[in-house]
Structure 1
Amino acid sequence: MAKQISSDDYISYIALENDKVVGFIGLLKKLNGPYMILDMMQVSSECRGQGVGRQLFELGKAEAIKAGAQDLYISACSSEETIAFYRAMGSGLASIPIKELAEKEPYDLQMICPVIDCNRYSEMKLTENMIRWII
């Protein structure tokens, strides 16, 4: 189950399993040019490989589409597992990194994931495991 938490500046989804948080994604609402910034994402180690991360990432893409963004921008931790995940989601290296983010996290890889070709997510219905919660 995922719940959405929203504020004036931030959109978050948390993935729940038996009322336990097993993952989350956080996005900045304000676009940076053509980008919606994926600020944070994590899936607990015991739930990796079960589609939790993919569902959260797809929710992030859907939010980017709704906001009019062309891409998700990701300042990704440089671990092999993290980079492999984002690449599997369709992300690649940003040709022109956002300077402030690159300077803030100099060891992160600056990546983008196109969302404009992901119209199937714009009408995505939340499954029983993806419940929207707005604050």
Structure 2
Amino acid sequence: MSRRIALSVAAGVVVLGGAGAFAFAYAGDQTPTLAHSTARYTAPDSGRDGSLTFTTEVTASSGVKSLKILPWPANSSFAKMGLTEKDMASAESATCKSAGDDTVRCTYTTKVSGAEAASSPHGSWHVAVLATAKDGRTTLDTKAADFEVN
């Protein structure tokens, strides 16, 4: 092999190796991801409270710090203006438990009284979630799951 070809091959290996190391390092610093999100609404009935339960799995390479939940009616002002992380600041938190290496399974449950159900808008609702990783990265999903209030 000539010296020129050997130098070209060596330079190529260095460039590809550096690109691979960058890609590997970058992959470790991803924003949180959500999977398997579901919402289940049970209306109050015969004097018993109903409930709303939301579950999801969150994966973050640095670990999950928190998950905020905000149910909202599809015909609200959020549908026109859009939700922001600022809107989620006072949202309620889900309870999260380890489900693997960098993954947690989070659950949020709240009771719904008959009076609350009667005064709430009927129709389609969405669940917005704000996932925050331990490294400070965030993911906002304004329509992580849907449910119906009749």
Q: TM-score, normalised by structure 2?
A: 0.24
Structure whose alpha-carbon radius of gyration is higher: 2
Write 1 or 2 for the structure with the bigger share of strand: 2
Q: TM-score, normalised by structure 1?
A: 0.26
